[in-house]
Amino acid sequence: MPEITAQISSTIDGLTREFDIIAHNLANVSTVGYKRRCNSFSKLLAAQETGTISETASEADLHTAFDFSQGSFVETGRTLDFALCGKGFFVVETQNGPLYTRNGMFHLNQNGQIVDSEGRTIAGEAGPISIPPDVGLSQVSVSSNGAVSAAGTAIGKFKLVDFKDNESNLIAAGLNCFQAPDDIEPQPTTNLIVKQGYQEGSNVQMVEELVDMIMVSRLYEANMKSMMIGSDTSKSLMNVAMG
């Protein structure tokens, strides 16, 4: 019985983490460039046709990953809004090293440099990209490959990178940015298109997240009930969860 109780407790912990992930996704359904985090814990339970699992909390975390699929595009017409079509990231320069983001809502700082919402410099291939003070934003254009022109004069090009098969190893760094582990180097992008005057919306699908939340809630309630009454028949537990 103690072993069974421990399994149920582990299951409850895993479901609680998955609920938090779903709630976080839903909270960012309107966040520009947001990439949903997915966890297959509840689906793993269903696939095993049981309501509990013997995996520990650390093992359950192995099923968590970011979904880097493309979000939908929203046209804004704003000069310093950019959406990326394809695999890749903008590079954000910070004191602690580069970060990577799909959020292309940029601004100009007091020095005319293109920066993100936190005032951090957006990297260009040859350093920060600065808009001349005598050039209005309406005269700034960015081509599909990220080359920036001001009043018809080339002034720089966005540094765009990709992590190819290592994309899943990126680490969340806050503010919709990601950090690369020390042993992974970014690569040049291929077939990446920059769309000026657009934003890439969140890739969260609200209906899908709500369906997952209902499943997780039912499994959680079923396991709590099982723990309280001391009943651990796997088949009946799934009947309660799926009913």
DSSP per position, 89-125: EEEE--TT--EEES-EE-EE-TTSBEE-TTSPBBPBB
Average pLDDT on 220-226 reads: 80
- Three-state DSSP string of 166-200: HHHHCEEEECCEEECCCCCCCEECCCCEEEECEEE
- Answer yes or no: pTM beyond 0.75: yes
Most confidently predicted of 43-52, 97-106, 234-243: 97-106
Q: Give the contacts of 102 (CB within 8 A, at least 6 positions apart).
A: 33, 35, 71, 84, 89, 90, 176, 200
Average pLDDT on 62-83 reads: 90
On the question of pLDDT at 180 being above 80, the answer is yes
Average pLDDT on 167-173 reads: 93
pLDDT score at 42: 65
Closest CA to 223 of 238, 207, 206: 238
Q: Which one has a higher pLDDT value, 94 or 49?
A: 94
What gap in Å lies between CA 192 and CA 186, rounded to an integer?
Answer: 14
